Structure 1
Amino acid sequence: MSKDDITKIEVGDGAAIPSPDDKGLVSAWWVALIGTVGMLIALPVLKPDPYLTILKFVPDGIVVTFEVTILAIVFAIIIGLLTGLGRLSSNRFINMIASLYVEVVRGIPLLVQLFYIYFALGRIVRVPDIVAAVIAMAFCYGAYMGEVFRAGISSIDHGQTEASLSLGFDKKQTMAYVVLPQAWRTILPPVGNEFIALLKDTSLVSILAVADILRRGREYAAESFNYFETYTIIALIYLLITLLLSKLISAMEYRLSHYERR
């Protein structure tokens, strides 16, 4: 059996990316999108109190959610790149440290890491809740990004490295100018999927008093006791954001695949 005959199974915490080749998933994506938008329009129109009130209450939480997500993913990519390079390093000590970081972080639930880093930082220096949340999310997702970078870099034919070295480039230049630019096309789609997974996991930072979407929803529900209505709107908002981002990643993957075929 050749490598091409082996089906690669990918399971993650991100969204199901609607590939054009998967007609069922594409159809499901459209049904979910239309249903979500329809409910977000119909509920406030049919019952302004409390649905319209909730929609007016949570927008600032959406902004905070994206702030945490974008900052955390940027730092996670930096940590992931260093970790991925460390995992591929011929230096046994650096390789061991990077591998240990990946194993430890991936073996501890994110919620436990959030609490640990938040309170550990608090014993050293007092930082804003949102800063602690970003550090914790970046530290956790950096381990997953490390494996993404490791796999992406490993996928580049070793002949590319040999050719670069033969032309006079040193190892750092080869990695920066030859390997990473090619690996990035492979890395970009899973990074996008991790972005969606991280966005959903930011709901956990509400426990640290960060005023994200879920936190704002909890505040409203505690005041009004409209728990069912509040969490219905919160769920629909998360679903809408996830659906739009998954479509964006699908389009990105499609363009990358067509670019590689040229």
Structure 2
Amino acid sequence: MPPSSPRPNTIARFPWWLLAIALIGLVTLWAIVADEGYSEIFDVLRKGVVTTLWVTFVAFGLAGLLGLVIALARTSGNPWLSQIATFYVEIIRGIPMLVALFYVAFVGAPAMVAAANWLLTPLIQPSWIEPLTVRNFDFTWRAIVALTICYSAFIAEIFRAGIEAVDRGQIEAARSLGLGRWHTFRFIVAPQALRTILPPLGNDFVSMIKDSALVSALGVQDITQLGKVYSSSTFKFFETYNVVAFLYLTMTISLSLFVRWLEQRLKQSDMR
């Protein structure tokens, strides 16, 4: 009779870290519900959750589209497109996020407004429309543009890695069967690359939620900015930043658990 395989150590495999996080979250949630001071802080900060999620979702969606274009340019085989895309990726990845945020907000925004007025000159000169001013460029959208530019470089590398992970033999076989470049990408490359890039894309989305706190430097009314204003006026720094951390952790840990679940599902589907 073959020896039975050792049973896994259930205690060692139990996610105690998740239990500890859940207990901390329950204690904080209880304080928010039971304590009047924490409840007031939560009522103030919850308005910033919508702004944080809005900035994150819009910026990540735009960064994903721009990153895909850059990744396709890098893998296109055209040396000029590849060189331009590589230049963009290396430059953007080397600039700190906060510096890029200030540059877009205070240098890029006036330049874009000036360019828009130049393009609209035929309509502005007959006084059909008023010329745009920098005030028309909302700071929230300046923050979104900055996050889009910065994250597109990182997402482009994720897309590129996923595309290059597809076996070249499959691509050559598809081309030999008469499939064009677009159909090869759509039916052969994209489905396989998607399975590779989904987990790192999820991790980047979690990172963008945290980096969205930088938009508070522009006065955007997100969680961090509202917490900074409230704590400065009430001097309740400990209570306020406890709630700020709780809100960010709720969003990031929930998404991290979803990414882990997605990775497990992808592994299980690969084993079938």
TM-score of the two chains, using structure 2 as the length reference: 0.84
2:185: which partner in 1?
Answer: 175
| Aligned counterpart in structure 2 of residue 123 of structure 1, from 76, 91, 110 | 110
Amino acid at match of 2:62: F
Distance 1:23 1:75, change over 3 A: farther
Deviation, 1:219, is 1.6
Give me the whole-angstrom Cα distance separating, in 2, the residues matched to 1:93 and 1:175: 21
1:188: which partner in 2?
Answer: 198
User: What secondary structure sits across from 1:58 in the alignment?
Assistant: helix
1:212: which partner in 2?
Answer: 222
2:32/2:42 contact within 8 Å kept = no
Deviation per CA, 1:180-238: give whole Å up to 9, x if none.
Answer: 12100111111000000000000000111111110111121122121221111101211
| Aligned counterpart in structure 2 of residue 201 of structure 1, from 190, 197, 211 | 211
1:91: which partner in 2?
Answer: 78
Give me the whole-angstrom Cα distance separating, in 1, the residues matched to 2:50 and 2:170: 43
Deviation, 1:44, is 4.6
2:74/2:82 contact within 8 Å kept = yes
Deviation, 1:64, is 0.5
Q: CA-atom RMSD, angstroms? A: 1.5
Deviation, 1:42, is 2.6
Give me the whole-angstrom Cα distance separating, in 1, the residues matched to 2:65 and 2:26: 35
| Structure 1 stretch displaced more, 152-161 or 123-132 | 123-132
Unaligned runs of 5+ in 1: 1-21
| Aligned counterpart in structure 1 of residue 152 of structure 2, from 139, 142, 145 | 142
Give me the whole-angstrom Cα distance separating, in 1, the residues matched to 2:43 and 2:68: 40
Residue correspondences, number: 238
2:67/2:153 contact within 8 Å kept = yes
Amino acid at match of 1:41: W
Instruction: Note the 1:1-262 alignment, pairs <5 A.
Output: 23=13, 26-45=15-34, 47-49=35-37, 51-124=38-111, 125=113, 126=134, 127-262=137-272
Amino acid at match of 1:260: D
Deviation, 1:179, is 0.3
Deviation, 1:29, is 2.3
Amino acid at match of 1:70: F
TM-score of the two chains, using structure 1 as the length reference: 0.87
Deviation, 1:242, is 1.2
Amino acid at match of 1:83: I
